[in-house]
Structure 1
């Protein structure tokens, strides 16, 4: 019963947050403005959306190929296509429960490639560490290029003092758990330590493997693809097509955080994009339309690829087993 309630809570709360953000954003629009957003959707130049979608899929493929390096170092062989489908399933699951995709794609490889779950999950954690570093690098770049505007935006929309207090609490909690984990002899803690050995091997694989040059290349390709997706998407609307690259970087960073804290950015992505672009003279109607066009197309890609992968993974596995 408790597990069922927890599952409903984990799925329902993020979805409710997304629905609330959609309601919050659209209650501020008049009927005329909502009509104008629909017109922007209709008149958008979709050849740029198709180009943006190409870079989105390219980033996913590059992530699938990069994953092979860490797995190969540990002695496991998994093809790019299988990795691609595992990632697609993971991204699809993230639309329901945030961050559940990491577990889902690890389970896919465990099932179809017989790779131990703890080692797979270790490689995923390593990837997330690298991705966090790349995101922070993008944040740093955006701050350098657009410091004054971003400072004003953050002071207006982000509770900096509350976030600082939360950060201090988290750091102290991590220190406490680290000390307990290191010095405790409780059976439960010892059991967890043994399980983490395989996890540690997976984490270390990325930093010890001899394919670091290739890993770095595909990391740059992944994040370059993300930025290109956003950049070319801006050309779909007349009002956003004039945005400079520094502005695009700022909006990209804001959108990345929106996606991280909700179910794939539902509700939050268009809202935060429109609020930020308002600082650059883009109307709320155009900013919202741009956010929804980009979010809708990217989400559609995830759903299509995720469903395709769920259908074809068993077929491919059964053929390879013969």
Structure 2
């Protein structure tokens, strides 16, 4: 009994240490990007940043934050639709609370938000967590596809600005990397991944009679059912409409946010589309987007004639508004979570 307890304690310590290392890694990467973006700034650029912060019209953030709340509600509603085919109908507020607590967890520990929101809803909504993970993966796949569409639309509609940038920084390096006689490390990496997947499959076959294999199959079965729920949606039109509305909300937050600074107030809809696309990539790269989001927003705005200092200030104002909203809503949802009703089973 003592050995088992000690083993569990050691495993818990290892997991805790892993989370701390992950936090340090992603937070450190964000700090590094902030340093890279600021250490070469000239005194005049630094002055531009200070002036932009001092003269910003912060009242603009009120409609931006309200639209942000609407986008989070839409996301909760869309995720809820994926649970209907599996026979679960949790309350919208339970799903919304899980989403916001997940976002809050992402600020503390990178990539923990997805696991956290599934765990919160599994406990409060009485839904198996493996099925929720499947629906979450399906939702993330739709978001990834949506972001790709946003980026292609931005580059395609603004070829004179973004097309040259995209070609010089992405297309040409890829062509150079895979040209005849080039270094084939990328191809070797793909081959190595395929080999590892095959070895993993063989190991699973060898240990299929064990208890752990049974648990793994149960988890994978739940994930598959969650993914399949995307194809068995009872309200496909509502699901895709909510996806469109979510990205429209993000777009409006960016476009209205331009009014916060005099230098960005005259920027049009195409610029908002471009900043949204490249800024969204930054939100994925580092913990909560810190460092990467501000850098990518600033670099994108410089393509449209905005001073780098002003663009960097706008990136910080936009990021701080979104992060503040997540912290307030996340903490609020944590406090009311015990009082929310779990929901009910959907009718067959």
Q: How does the TM-score come out when normalised to structure 2?
A: 0.83
CA distance in 2, matches of 1:163, 1:234: 38
CA distance in 1, matches of 2:268, 2:192: 42
Is 1:278 aligned to residue 298 of structure 2? no
Is 1:16 aligned to residue 28 of structure 2? yes
Residue 138 (structure 1) shift: 0.5
Give the structure 1 partner of residue 95 of structure 2: 83
Is 1:304 aligned to residue 324 of structure 2? no
| Paired residues of 2:94 and 2:341 also in contact (CA < 8 A) | no
Give the structure 2 partner of residue 229 of structure 1: 253
Give the structure 2 partner of residue 114 of structure 1: 126
| Paired residues of 2:57 and 2:259 also in contact (CA < 8 A) | yes
Closer, same or farther in 2 for the Cα pair 1:168/1:62, shift >3 Å?
Answer: farther
| Paired residues of 1:45 and 1:235 also in contact (CA < 8 A) | yes
Residue 305 (structure 1) shift: 0.8
Q: Which has the larger radius of gyration?
A: 2
| Matched residues, number | 319
Question: What CA deviation, in whole Å up to 9, does each residue of 1:155-192 have, x standing for no partner?
Answer: 66669449977865665455445545666512266653
Give the structure 2 partner of residue 257 of structure 1: 281
CA distance in 1, matches of 2:112, 2:186: 23
Residue 23 (structure 1) shift: 1.8
| Paired residues of 2:91 and 2:341 also in contact (CA < 8 A) | no
Residue 95 (structure 1) shift: 1.4
Give the structure 1 partner of residue 151 of structure 2: 139
Give the structure 2 partner of residue 60 of structure 1: 72
Runs of 5+ unmatched residues, structure 1:
none
CA distance in 1, matches of 2:292, 2:145: 23
Name the SS of the counterpart of 2:300 in structure 1: helix
Identify the range of structure 1 (135-144 vs 154-163) with the bigger mean alpha-carbon deviation.
154-163
Runs of 5+ unmatched residues, structure 2:
1-12, 179-183
Identify the range of structure 1 (55-64 vs 187-196) with the bigger mean alpha-carbon deviation.
187-196
